[in-house]
Structure 1
Amino acid sequence: MPAASIALVSSGRSSFVEADALILAREYEVRRLEWSGRDTYRALREVVRASDLVFCWFAGDHAAVAGFVARRHRRPVVLVAGGADVAAQHDIGYGAMAGSWKSRISTRLSIRLADLVLPFSEFSASEILRVRKPRRMEVLYLGVDVNRFAPLGAKEDLAVTAGAITESNLRRKGHATFVEASRKVPGIRFVLAGAVDRSMETDLRSSPPPNLELPGYLSDDELLALYRRAKVYVQASAHEGFGLAVAEAMACGCVPVVTRRGSLPEVVGDTGVYVEYGDADSTAEGIRIALSHPADGARARERVVQRFPIGRRADRLLRLVSDLLAGGR
């Protein structure tokens, strides 16, 4: 008997979307559809009609349209949500629910049309419930490949953060705070890794502190090597639906320095140092404390190994999809 097929619908590719695609491909034929607007509708319709289940990553136009087509053809729908798609961070203008009426409607429709919604943290589940109560919802944490993301070699007095360097992320990811904190701890190397938006490149590179490095975009292997060298990983965010980068860095033995915003306390627990959002002095002090307790990196890794291994997400995801395909809506 041929394997059932799954339509995996997203508005782009990212590491977590690719991870789920690989998991689903273990037992099913996966048909990919990357939504790019109305021009993609016909292809989406054909992919959904030819599949046994629709799996959408993030709420939005693509998930709402896929949900309508799936309803018409009686296909069950799984929606993974919990990031910008359901956020309403008005103080920094972040999230679909802080955006236009069109984005708010798309998010609500995506949730309403899904048979199963999978938030990737308890925090993201709470944000979904503020938008609309799903028919069925189960928290399923993102997963880390703890065999790949593992310590290797000696650690350095190095504080790292990563993420695309855009005007939005200066506030949302706390990049501006990280840069200011580097001025307050001049004896320590700081690395802000990520592709730099062209509109910001001149400002960022014109007068950086001498201890701050801006290497630009790093490949997955280069980022892994950086995590392995660093003693500290900083996530000074205003909002995180999960915080995969900090979890991967923790798995490499970094001591996390984070805010109490979003899902970060769920991920970090008692293994890191907490700082105030937007406060460079607090962040600098948190980095000093973390550097003085490098052994806490082992506890941080153990938390990820125990709570967020990719194998746990894979097993549960495949079981949930199997139940839906068997008619257990």
Structure 2
Amino acid sequence: MRPSPPPAAIAYVYPRRFHFVSKDIEALSREVDVREHRFSTGAAWHLPWDLLRQLVFLLRCKWRGIRVVIAHFAGHHTVLPVLLGFRTHIIIAGSDACSFPGIDYGSFRKPLMRAAMAFSMRRATRLLPVHRSLERFENRFSDYGQREQGYAHFVRGPIAPSVAIPYGFDQRHWAAGHAPRRARSVACVATGAAHGNAVHFRKGVDLLIEAARRLPDHTFTIIGVADIRSYTDLPSNVRMMGACTPQEVHEVLACHTLYAQPSVMEGFPNALCEAMLAGCLPVVSDITSMPEIIGASGVVVHERSAEALVAAIVRSTTMEPAEQERSRALAMAQVLPFTLERRIAALLHLVRTT
């Protein structure tokens, strides 16, 4: 007996239309009719208005015969879909699997959000973590949060079944190309960073700046900074860039030797995978998916310190050229299985069969 076809339309809800959210919606829209809804309009006091807006959206979906909701992240925006009886699939992406109060990061640190997430995760049809480690993992990298992390740790009692579906990438877009690479050059994407904010510490921008001071013969490029002027007294070998298009990010990554992601927390970092496809050697922190993503192609940093990061960077940038090329080829090969087509097929299979 053939499986039933996917529904003619689905609802896709999210708090903000991040790059990875846009990729999902655009790819799914080529297969089914996607009705999207952005939940968050700003400050926390807007929550009642946000819920009312979403209620109207969901009731209209029901009137049109839509019965399936895909939600990116768990949160306030996943409560109404499960309450109204939609078959709700929640993509767990990272912030909804942790609590790092030391840097004001992680949805489980907020009592009201935590309650909303627990309610949704117990009643959803499926939880779709972007990596299996988000269910339960140990934080050994920093002291900004407790050791035991993961949504199954924070939500007591039974929860919905989980199926890990990693993000996917357009390998043609991110291919390395033939641009010359600057020797001893380090790149990092830290979208939304400003001096002292949560992104600044979560992405390890403070460590990268200190590493730049200790490595004056290296150059460092930090992409996606929200407030460049907040960074004063930067070393001369640090370049801060504001928001960039995916094409601009690719052009920057393709001419760098190394991509550093010394993050306190990540889910399945898109920028890391895109940098590896663009031919950058990876240096990552020992948290969730990242050591598995890079495999033997790069260096894992096991403690949150400038000393450890500097040692990892130097280890990568001082390799012999032939060894760098082998590692670069291995880095690209590590990401090749994670195609956007495979991700969308997996999402549609679940939507069709559950």
- Pairing 1:274-313 to 2, within 5 Å after superposition: 274-293=300-319, 294-295=324-325, 296-306=327-337, 308-313=338-343
- 1:140 equivalent in alignment to 2:170: no
Amino acid at match of 2:152: L
Shift of 1:85: 1.8
SS at the partner of 2:329?
helix
- 1:96-145, Cα deviation, whole Å (9 max, x unpaired): 1122x101101111212210110000211221221334322101111111
Equivalences for residues 106-185 of structure 1 within 5 A: 106-126=116-136, 127-132=150-155, 133-153=158-178, 154-157=180-183, 158-163=185-190, 164-166=192-194, 167-185=197-215
- Indicate the SS of the match to 1:190: strand
**Displacement, 1:239?**
0.7
1:184-217: CA deviation from partner (whole Å, max 9, x where unpaired) = 11111110111323xxx4441x211011001222
Aligned to 1:226: 252
Matched, 1:27 2:31: yes
Partner of 1:43: 56
Kindly state the Cα deviation for residue 309 of structure 1 after the two structures are TM-superposed.
1.9
Contact 1:231 1:297 in 2 (8 A): no
Q: Distance in 2 between matches of 1:202 and 1:215?
A: 11
Partner letter of residue 122 of structure 1? R
Partner of 1:327: none
Match of 1:6 among 1, 4, 10: 10
1:189 maps to which of 219, 226, 234:
219
AA paired with 1:174? G
Aligned pair 1:248/2:264, yes or no?
no
- Give the % identical residues: 26
Q: For residues 54-69 of structure 1, what are the structure 2 equivalents within 5 Å?
A: 54-69=69-84
Amino acid at match of 2:114: R
- Which amino acid in 2 is paired with 1:38? L
Residue range with higher mean Cα deviation, 288-297 or 181-190: 288-297
Letter in 2 for 1:187: D
CA distances 1:75-101 after superposition (whole Å, capped 9, x unpaired): 3111101311221224433211122x1
Contact 2:171/2:339 (<8 A) preserved: yes
Q: Give the C-alpha shift of residue 316 in structure 1.
A: 1.5
Question: Any idea what SS the aligned residue of 1:269 has?
Answer: helix
State how many pairs are aligned: 314
Secondary structure of the residue aligned to 1:79 is: strand
1:3 Cα deviation from its structure 2 partner:
5.6
Residues 232 and 310 (structure 1), Cα distance of their counterparts in 2 relative to 1, 3 Å cut: same
Runs of 4+ off more than 2 Å: 41-48, 89-93, 131-135
Match of 1:229, SS state, is: coil
Letter in 2 for 1:223: V
Q: Do the aligned partners of 1:31 and 1:47 also contact (CA within 8 Å) in 2? A: no
Relative to structure 2, which stretch is displaced further, 76-85 or 45-54? Answer: 45-54
Q: 1:248, CA displacement in angstroms? A: 0.8
Superposed CA offset, 1:16-45 (max 9, x none) = 111221232232111111113134134323
1:221-266 residue CA offsets vs partner (Å, 9 max, x unmatched): 1101011111100000011111111111011111001110222112
What TM-score, normalized by structure 2, do the two folds share?
0.84
Q: Counterpart in 2 of 1:216?
A: 242
Alignment check: 8 A CA contact 1:53 1:76 kept = yes
Give yes or no for contact 1:3–1:27 (8 Å, CA) kept in 2. Answer: no
Residues 33 and 47 in structure 1, CA contact (< 8 A), matched pair in contact too: no
- Which SS does the other structure have where 1:230 is aligned? coil
Equivalent pair of 1:156/1:231 in contact (CA under 8 Å): yes
Distance 1:230 1:143, change over 3 A: same
3-state SS, counterpart of residue 271 of structure 2: helix
Q: Given that residues 48 and 66 in structure 1 are in contact (C-alpha distance below 8 angstroms), is that contact kept between their aligned partners in structure 2? A: no
Work out whether residues 7 and 352 of structure 2, in 8 Å CA contact, stay in contact via their aligned partners in 1.
no
- Structure 1 residue runs without a partner (length 5+): 325-329
Contact 1:159 1:231 survives alignment (8 Å): yes
In the superposition, the TM-score normalised over structure 1's length comes to 0.90
Deviation by residue 1:272-323 (Cα, 9 ceiling, x = unmatched): 11224431122122111111232211110111013x2222212212211111
The alignment partner of 1:270 has SS state of helix
Gaps of at least 5 residues in structure 2 are: 41-49, 137-149
Q: How much has 1:2 moved relative to structure 2? A: 11
